[in-house]
Amino acid sequence: MVSLLVKERMYINEVVLGTAFGVLMGPHCANAFDPRSWGSIQNDITLEVMRIVLATGLFAIGVELPQSYMYKHAKGLMIMVIPTMAFGWLVVAAVIHGLFPALDFISSLAIAACLTPTDPIISAAIVGGKFAIKHVPANLRRILAAESAANDGLAYPFLSISIYLTVERSRGKAFELWFLVGWLYQVVLGVVLGAVMGILFCHLMKYTHRKGFIDRESYVAQYLALAFLTIGVASTLGSDDLLAAFAAGSAISWDGHFNVQIENEVFSSVIDLVLNCACFVYIGAWLPFTAFNSPELGITPWRLIVLFLAILALRRIPCLLLLYKWIPEITSWKEALFSGHFGPMGVGAVFVSTLALTRLPEPGETPETQPELLAATLQTIVSFVVLGSILIHGLSIPFFSFGKKVHSRTISLSQTWTSRHPESAPDWVLWTRRVPGTPRSELHSHSVTQSQADLEMGKAAGKGRDENDTLGTNDTKKGEDSGLGAPVVSQDDAGTSTHEPLGEASMGLGEPGQYLSRRLSETASGSGSGLASGHASAIASAAHSGTATPSTAPTSPIKTVHFPEAQ
């Protein structure tokens, strides 16, 4: 009912709203929906809900990336994914071990592995919104989407080595299982399986399309059916189903044929929206608020808050600031800082933490061993970080939007520049400014010399937007976006013919005058009406902006550009 208001005006996405609604409907408010009351099957249901939502989102990212994107940008992705994940994994584990001394470093590595992947659902909601599309370069949005999809599946090896070191007696056996199962069977087999299924169905659907066996509706339905089929086959074999779903989505759209067939169809967007909303409502009701203060387990609110702040500052930002020069898609340190900040934790973290619980022993009321303590504290720590990430990352875009509005100003001007032929009149310019809110009859005028007028125009033209702002934008907002109406160009001499445009005059949300383009036509003085019939020259003061062009058409000696008052 209010989706356009909150998403297009307030820039708040379904991630924040769904979580908030889940908290309201959950056991701590309305008590209408409580996943934790389902007993022993609660973890199984949570795992499969997260699996379906993640796989559908990863398949969608793979399909929507440009054709052959993974091949063309493999270098940037490899540098952005593997070193960043490894760095964040070790740093977060060290912070957890320092804040929660009851957990040894291996257990801290297991918890850090759940917080290592970037959540593709929250990332897609953030970098795919209206604000990001307008202000974030396309290459940066695509690399962030691809990175969030790739590193979600790569969380398996980080988790598996931590679990094997926790439950296996021999470290040699743990590393052997990690290499054979964690890497070869899960990661490599998952990627190959997903790619083969994607390529197979790509050729199969192209064949049926050429033969006229498949209609457009069924083509679109394959979007969801293939995602479910891929994760079904991969999870049945015990392989990495998340990487398989992403690989299948990338392979099925490798040549762009599948994208053409589902172009302009909203079915996939509707499915994603419904699944995402339902998933975050589930997470909001699932959050264990009462467990955030468990002194018997060494968990207190201040420790959780310090942990979350350390994760925000250290998990991704330092590594990307050091490596961005080797990532072609990131062109400046500001884009690296932006990419480091937008590494949200959400559905992926909940999925990996729930998956870890299936491999750990059931904890008792007072955990006696390190595996039991890990099982008792894992989801509490992860869920608090997920809640903080949803709030901070989900509200970052509204914060940036509000900041841009606070630091911007709009103006209302009515200016007149009068120029006379240099051979027949003194070299002066009449500059008239109307103060906003005053009648047009009460104009505040003053005469200045030509050099003074040029200096004023140069100062106004120099107040441009920073070419390397935080979001990497360099675009100019149009007048209709800023709340200003179209400029009205009038002729003071009513007896003349239709005037020529004085040039573009668009006012945006930046500094006053930075988008005011000055193109003036000089008139030749004559007798009677003051018009010349055959010649004109460019006004000297407009030449400083580089936009002045000479005109040969008869024009009025005085022309006024009226800008409507700020809305």
| pLDDT tens track for 208-242 | 989 999 888 888 888 889 999 999 999 999 999 99
Q: What are phi and psi of 232, to 5 degrees?
A: -65, -45
| Residue bearing the bigger pLDDT, 448 or 306 | 306
Backbone torsions φ then ψ of 538, nearest 5 degrees: -70, 140
pLDDT top residue among 319 and 64: 319
- Burial of 523 (C-beta count, 10 Å sphere; 0-12/13-18/19+): buried
What contacts 29, CB < 8 A, 6 or more positions away? 23
In contact, 357 and 43? CB cutoff 8 Å: yes
CA–CA gap between residue 1 and residue 65 (Å, rounded): 30
Judge whether residue 435 has pLDDT over 70.
Answer: no
Residue 473 has pLDDT above 50, yes or no: no
Q: Which of 417, 408, 405, 416 is nearest to 514 (CA)?
A: 408
**Counting Cβ atoms within 10 Å, is residue 206 exposed (0-12), middle (13-18) or buried (19+)?**
middle
Confidence band for 398, pLDDT divided at 50, 70 and 90: low
Buried/exposed 43-80: b ≥16 CB within 10 Å, e otherwise: beebbebbbbbbbbbbbbbbbbbeeebbeebeebbebb
Report the DSSP beta bridge partners of residue 167: none
pTM: 0.70
* Confidence band, pLDDT 50/70/90 cuts, at residue 495: very low
User: Alpha carbon of 417 to those of 4, 212, 441, 542, 549: distances in Å?
Assistant: 43, 67, 17, 10, 16
Secondary structure (3-state) at 516: strand
Among 67-71, 323-327, 525-529, 536-540, which range has the highest average pLDDT?
A: 323-327
Q: Which pLDDT belongs to residue 129?
A: 67
Least confident of 44-48, 162-166, 228-232: 162-166
Average pLDDT over residues 416-445: 44
Residue 468 has a pLDDT of 39
Q: Both tokens of residue 163? A: 């679990």
Q: What is the pLDDT of residue 561?
A: 55
User: 241-252 vs 216-237: helix axis angle to the nearest 10?
Assistant: 150
Half-sphere exposure (Cβ direction) of 282: Cα atoms closer than 13 Å: 20
Position 218 scores a pLDDT of: 85
Domain-by-domain residue ranges, the chain? 43-399
Of the two residues 475 and 21, the one the predictor is more confident about is 21
| Residue 448 buriedness (CB in 10 A; 0-12 / 13-18 / 19+) | middle
Residue in 319, 288, 528 with CA at minimum distance from that of residue 385 = 288
In 3D space, the residue among 409, 429, 404, 411 whose CA is nearest the CA of residue 419 turns out to be 429
pLDDT of residue 35: 94
Q: What is the pLDDT of residue 115?
A: 94
Give the residue with greater pLDDT, 356 vs 528.
Answer: 356
pLDDT digits (tens, 9 = 90+) for 271-292: 888 888 999 999 999 999 999 9
Confidence of residue 2 (pLDDT cuts 50, 70, 90): confident
CATH topology of domain 43-399: Na+/H+ antiporter like fold (1.20.1530)
Q: What is the pLDDT of residues 514-527, one digit of tens each?
A: 433 343 444 333 43
**Mean of the per-residue pLDDT values of the chain:** 76
- Contact between 93 and 109 under an 8 Å Cβ cutoff? The reply is yes
Query: To which H or E segment does residue 98 belong?
Result: helix 74-99
pLDDT at 488 over 80: no
Residue 351 token pair: 């999925």
Q: Are strands 428-433 and 444-449 parallel, antiparallel or unpaired?
A: antiparallel
User: In the structure encoding, which two tokens stand for residue 438, read together?
Assistant: 């005053």
Of the candidates 92, 82, 131, 85, the one whose C-alpha atom is nearest the C-alpha of residue 112 is: 92
418 is written with which tokens? 């009068």
The rounded distance, in Å, linking the Cα atoms of 416 and 259 is 53
Helix, strand or coil, per DSSP, at residue 561: strand
Q: Which of 554, 434, 551, 433 is nearest to 493 (CA)?
A: 554
Predicted pLDDT of residue 515: 37
Q: Residue 247: what pLDDT?
A: 94
Written as one string, the DSSP assignment of 40-71 is GGHHHHHHHHHHHHHHHHHHHHHHHSPTTHHH
Of 129 and 52, the one with more pLDDT: 52
Would the pLDDT of 95 be above 50? yes
Distance, first Cα to last Cα, the chain: 27
pLDDT (0 to 100) of residue 562 = 56
Buried b / exposed e over 395-421, threshold 16 CB at 10 Å, is bbbbebbeebeeeeebebbbbbbbbbb
Closest by CA to 507, choosing from 443, 441, 561, 434, is 561
Structure tokens at 467: 């070419």
Least confident of 252-261, 420-429, 554-563: 420-429
> What are the backbone dihedrals phi and psi of residue 430, each rounded to the nearest 5 degrees, phi first?
-95, 120
In this structure, of 28-42, 201-215, 235-249, 417-431, the range with the lowest mean pLDDT score is 417-431
Q: How confident is the model at residue 39 (pLDDT cuts 50, 70, 90)?
A: confident
The predicted pLDDT at position 232 comes to: 94
Find which of 173-177, 491-495, 519-523 is predicted with most confidence, using mean pLDDT: 173-177
Amino acid of residue 188 = V
pLDDT score recorded for residue 566: 59
What percentage of the chain carries pLDDT values higher than 90? 42
Check pLDDT > 70 for residue 539. Answer: no
Average pLDDT of 335-351?
A: 91
CA 476 to chain centroid: 20
Residues 349-355 have a mean pLDDT of 94
**What's residue 565's pLDDT?**
60
pLDDT value for 560? 55
Region 102-126 average pLDDT? 89
Q: Say whether pLDDT at 478 is over 70.
A: no
Predicted confidence at residue 563, as pLDDT, reads: 57
Rounded-to-integer distance, Cα 532 and Cα 408, Å: 43
Indicate the DSSP class of residue 358: T
Q: Which residues is 488 bridged to in the sheet? A: 562
Phi then psi for 116, rounded to 5 degrees? Answer: -75, -45
- State yes or no: pLDDT of 105 exceeds 50: yes
Res 81 pLDDT > 60: yes
Report pLDDT for 40.
Answer: 82
Q: What pLDDT, on the 0 to 100 scale, is given for residue 257?
A: 84
More confident residue, 149 or 418: 149
Q: For residues 374 and 351, give the distance between their C-alpha atoms in angstroms, rounded to a whole number.
A: 16
